[in-house]
Structure 1
Amino acid sequence: MVDTERLFLAIALPENVRSCLVERMRVVNARAVKVRWVPAKNIHTTLKFFGDTPAEQKAVIENTMERVVARVQPFDLAIAGVKIVRRGRRPQMVWATVTDSDGELRRLHGRTERLLEQGGFSRERRPLSPHITLARVRDGIAPWEQHMLEEWSLAQRDLAPVPFRVEDVVLMRSELKLRGAEYTVCRRFKLQEK
């Protein structure tokens, strides 16, 4: 059996941004029973998910990402609200939306996909939808909980955007545990200053 690691590339968020998101979630967190909130230490935005990856493919990812970041400068993003993602009428996830007004994240994503494809990885078929998963909604959510979530997400629209600077891309390992996923940083790829 081949040893594998469950890997993904992410944009890690600065501590102040994670704290801001946690503070916003705290308002509704304690009362929503059927909502599983992402722990603060796990809050990130995913650039590419690989899944179970053998060691030799991990090395290809690392070598490729060195090439990717060699031509990408740090850039700014902002969190600009909350969206409830639904399957039919049922809420499934709660996302913080990420704005990429200069298109730098899309360019980074495109370069990452292109160079990884040259290394033998499949391209993501869905278009990039920059977001941060804040919570997953369990089956059987009560109507009052659903209403509370919707009211809370609408209230987030009136809050000021939360800007942050992207200075690196992180290769993360995800281990699935009974209490949820546990993430570990495998490697950081620093974006290049001019």
Structure 2
Amino acid sequence: MIATLSKRQEGPTARTFVAIELPDDLKNRLQALRTKFGEGAEMLKWTGQAQLHVTLRFLGDVERSRLHLVVDAASHAASLTKQFSLQLGDLGAFPNERSPRVLWVGLLEDEGKSRLSRLFSVLEEAIVHRGFPPEPLPFSPHLTMARARDRLSSVDRSRIGRALQELRRSANLPASIDVRQITVMESSLSAAGARYSPVATLPLLLEELKRG
């Protein structure tokens, strides 16, 4: 596939990341969790339904003249990766549930997550090869559901943690994500929040047919 870069020009740089997008039905299910969150929901800034995704690689501000290099790296990684499925895991929090700052949904430790890690490794190598700095943190894929508001007391954070534990007991999260493509995204920040725009979408290889 030959990717076409977005024609939008809003500045010399673009806040860029590579992501796995989610199907609308799964976004609806995840968004519904917000209505089930108990005491402390008002102390969280929830991720908008349109912004729910799995980040594969965050690059930050990239010069627009170099965006084609990110697309080229993503295209290279996609061309070496067969389609696969991910399974949603449990709810959790960074750095911990006693003083949560970020609420997330994890992924099950299975073959799908192993294949995701291999995709990240190929993408990371391709990105670094094209002159971008390496990712300094270990790969920890997840879906960010919400962030705690600033200046919360330890008591307030504890309330959020307890509500998260209660939601985990009642939530019916198991779901599958069919990963058929990866997307280079641009994030535009405003007072209304982040808006994501696809720069290029790169399809993965079709899974080989199993012969009987």
Distance 1:82 1:148, change over 3 A: same
Distance 1:17 1:151, change over 3 A: same
Q: Distance in 2 between matches of 1:42 and 1:156?
A: 22
Alignment-derived partner of residue 5 in structure 2: none
1:175 counterpart = 2:185: no
1:138 counterpart = 2:149: yes
SS of the counterpart of 2:37?
helix
Alignment-derived partner of residue 106 in structure 1: 117
Distance 1:154 1:75, change over 3 A: farther
CA deviations 1:108-154 (Å, max 9, x no partner) are 00000011111111221211111011001012436367425433345
SS of the counterpart of 1:24?
helix
Q: Distance in 2 between matches of 1:156 and 1:87?
A: 14
Alignment-derived partner of residue 147 in structure 1: 159
Give, as a single letter, the amino acid of the residue that structure 2 aligns with 1:171: V
2:20–2:54: 8 Å Cα contact kept in structure 1?
A: yes
Distance 1:157 1:113, change over 3 A: farther
1:82–1:157: 8 Å Cα contact kept in structure 2?
A: no
2:76–2:123: 8 Å Cα contact kept in structure 1?
A: no
1:17 counterpart = 2:30: no
Q: Distance in 1 between matches of 2:90 and 2:97?
A: 22
CA deviations 1:26-75 (Å, max 9, x no partner) are 21279622200000000001111111111222111111221111111111
Structure 2 runs not aligned, ≥5 long: 1-10
* Displacement of 1:174: 0.4
Q: TM-score, normalised by structure 2?
A: 0.82
How many percent identity over aligned positions? 24
Structure 1 runs not aligned, ≥5 long: none
Alignment-derived partner of residue 63 in structure 2: 54
For residue 165 of structure 1, the aligned residue among 139, 163, 178 is 178
Alignment-derived partner of residue 129 in structure 1: 140
Give, as a single letter, the amino acid of the residue that structure 1 aligns with 2:163: E
Greater share of residues in strand: 1
